[in-house]
Amino acid sequence: MSSREGKRTNSSKPRHRAFPRTGIRWLRHLEENWRIYRSNPMGMAGLVLLALFGLMALASFIPPLIDPIYDPMSGVDPIIDTSTGPSWRHWLGTDFMGRDIFSQLLTGARVAFMIGISAAFMAVAIGTLVGMTAGYFGRTVDTLLMRLADIIMVLPGLLVILILSSVVGRLSIWNLVIIIALFKWAGVSRVIRAQTLSLSVRPYIEAARVAGASHARILFRHILPNVLPLSFLYMTFGVTSAILIEAALSFLGFGDPSTVSWGMMLQWVWKTGHMFKAPYWLIPPGVCISLITLSFYLVGRALDEVLNPRLRKEVLEQ
Q: Which residues bind other proteins (CB under 8 A)?
A: 150-151, 153-160, 162-168, 244, 247-248, 251-254, 263, 266, 269-270, 275-276, 279, 282-283, 285-286, 289-291, 293-294, 297, 311, 314, 317-318
- Nearest distance from C-beta of residue 228 to other proteins, angstroms: 24
The crossing angle, in degrees rounded to 10, of helices 224-251 and 173-200 is 150
b (16+ CB within 10 A) / e for 64-96? beeeebbbbeebbbeebeebbeeeeebebbbbb
Nearer to other proteins, 82 or 290 (CB): 290
| Number of Cβ atoms within 10 Å of the Cβ of 185 | 26
- Nearest distance from C-beta of residue 183 to other proteins, angstroms: 10
- Nearest distance from C-beta of residue 58 to other proteins, angstroms: 23
CA distance 301 to 121: 18
Angle at 231 between CA 227 and CA 232, to 5 degrees: 120
- Nearest distance from C-beta of residue 173 to other proteins, angstroms: 19
- Nearest distance from C-beta of residue 75 to other proteins, angstroms: 24
Sign of the Cα torsion 174, 176, 182, 186 reads negative
- Nearest distance from C-beta of residue 167 to other proteins, angstroms: 4
CA distance 295 to 299: 6
- Nearest distance from C-beta of residue 171 to other proteins, angstroms: 12
Nearer to other proteins, 97 or 160 (CB): 160
Phi and psi angles of residue 87, each rounded to the nearest 5 degrees, phi first: -150, 180
The residue among 42, 23, 26, 36 whose CA lies nearest residue 307 is: 36
110, 246 in Cβ contact below 8 A?
A: no
Sign of the Cα torsion 263, 269, 275, 281 reads negative
- Nearest distance from C-beta of residue 170 to other proteins, angstroms: 11
Nearer to other proteins, 53 or 70 (CB): 53
Beta bridge partners of 94: 100
Angle at 287 between CA 282 and CA 289, to 5 degrees: 105
Separation of CA 282 from chain center? 26
